[in-house]
Amino acid sequence: MKVHLIRSEGFKMEDYNHVFNILNQYSGGITFVPSEPIVLPDTDIEITYEDKDQYERQALYSPRGAFFEKRSFPITEKSYTEEELLSVCNKFRKENNISDSEQVLLLTEKKNVSNWFGGVDQTTLNNFFIDCSDWDYYFNGFDIRFPIAFSIAAWLMRKVIFTSAKEGFSALHKKPRGCIMDYCIDKKEIQLQMRTADICDACLSYSEKNDANRVHMNQLMQIMEGVRSNLLFRDRSKYLRTNSRLEFRGMMHKMYLTDLGDLQVNLNPTERALYLVYLNHPEGISRADLIDFRSELKKYYAFFSSKWDELSQFDREMKIHEAVDLLTNKLEQKLMQVLSRIRRKFIDTVGEDQSKTYSIESYDGKYKILLDRELVSFDEDAKLTDGNIY
Ligand SMILES: [Zn+2]
pLDDT(81) > 60: yes
- 137 & 70 share domain: yes
Between CA 320 and CA 316 the distance in angstroms is: 6
Domain end call among 192, 219, 238: 238
Domain count, the chain: 2
- 201 & 260 share domain: no
Domain end call among 190, 208, 238: 238
Residue type, 235: D
Identify the pLDDT of residue 187.
65
Which residue range forms the structural domain that includes residue 86?
2-238
Give the chain as a 3 state SS string. Answer: CEEEEEEECCCCHHHHHHHHHHHCCCCCCCEEECCCCECCCCCCCEEEECCHHHHHHHHCCCCCCHHHHCCCCCEEEEEECHHHHHHHHHHHHHHCCCCCCCEEEEEECCEECCCCCEEECCCCCCEEEEECCCHHHHCCCCCCHHHHHHHHHHHHHHHHHCCCHHHHHHHCECCCCCECCECCCCHHHHHHHHHHCECCHHHHHHHHHCCCCHHHHHHHHHHHHHHHHHHHHHHHHHHHCCCCCEEEECCCCEEEECCCCCEEECCCHHHHHHHHHHHHCCCCECCHHHHHHHHHHHHHHHHHCCCCCCCCHHHHHHHHHHHHHHHHCCCCCHHHHHHHHHHHHHHHHHCHHHHHHHCEEEECCEEEECCCHHHEEECCCCCCCCCCCC
| Distance from the alpha carbon of residue 179 to the mean position of ligand 1, in angstroms | 5
- 275 & 356 share domain: yes
Identify the pLDDT of residue 259.
85
Identify the pLDDT of residue 364.
87
Determine, yes or no, domain membership for 8.
yes
| Distance from the alpha carbon of residue 137 to the mean position of ligand 1, in angstroms | 25
| Distance from the alpha carbon of residue 202 to the mean position of ligand 1, in angstroms | 6
Identify the pLDDT of residue 165.
92
pLDDT (average), residues 30-52: 88
Q: What is the pLDDT of residues 348-369, one digit of tens each?
A: 888 777 889 999 999 989 999 9
Determine, yes or no, domain membership for 41.
yes
Identify the pLDDT of residue 142.
63
pLDDT(61) > 50: no
| Distance from the alpha carbon of residue 178 to the mean position of ligand 1, in angstroms | 8
| Distance from the alpha carbon of residue 156 to the mean position of ligand 1, in angstroms | 15
Identify the pLDDT of residue 137.
63
| Distance from the alpha carbon of residue 257 to the mean position of ligand 1, in angstroms | 31
Determine, yes or no, domain membership for 113.
yes
The closest of 254, 267, 244, 282 to 382, measured between CA atoms, is 254
- 53 & 179 share domain: yes
- 228 & 275 share domain: no
pLDDT(387) > 70: no
Determine, yes or no, domain membership for 194.
yes
Determine, yes or no, domain membership for 32.
yes
Q: What is the pLDDT of residues 82-132, one digit of tens each?
A: 999 999 999 999 999 999 999 999 999 888 888 788 899 999 999 999 988
Domain end call among 238, 263, 296: 238
| Distance from the alpha carbon of residue 387 to the mean position of ligand 1, in angstroms | 52
Between CA 304 and CA 184 the distance in angstroms is: 47
- 287 & 218 share domain: no
Mean pLDDT of all residues belonging to the chain: 86
pLDDT (average), residues 325-354: 89
- 39 & 170 share domain: yes
| Distance from the alpha carbon of residue 66 to the mean position of ligand 1, in angstroms | 31
| Distance from the alpha carbon of residue 176 to the mean position of ligand 1, in angstroms | 9
CATH number at residue 111: 3.40.390.10
| Distance from the alpha carbon of residue 373 to the mean position of ligand 1, in angstroms | 43
Identify the pLDDT of residue 69.
52
Identify the pLDDT of residue 390.
46
pTM reported for the whole predicted model:
0.71
Instruction: pLDDT band for 58, please (50, 70, 90 cuts).
Output: very low
- 114 & 155 share domain: yes
| Distance from the alpha carbon of residue 170 to the mean position of ligand 1, in angstroms | 11
Identify the pLDDT of residue 308.
80
Determine, yes or no, domain membership for 386.
no
| Distance from the alpha carbon of residue 174 to the mean position of ligand 1, in angstroms | 10
Residue type, 150: F
Determine, yes or no, domain membership for 390.
no
- 194 & 255 share domain: no
Between CA 172 and CA 180 the distance in angstroms is: 9
Surrounding ion ligand 1 within 5 Å at CB are 179, 181, 200, 203
pLDDT (average), residues 314-332: 89
Determine, yes or no, domain membership for 383.
no
| Distance from the alpha carbon of residue 251 to the mean position of ligand 1, in angstroms | 44
- 116 & 265 share domain: no
- 51 & 76 share domain: yes
- 273 & 201 share domain: no
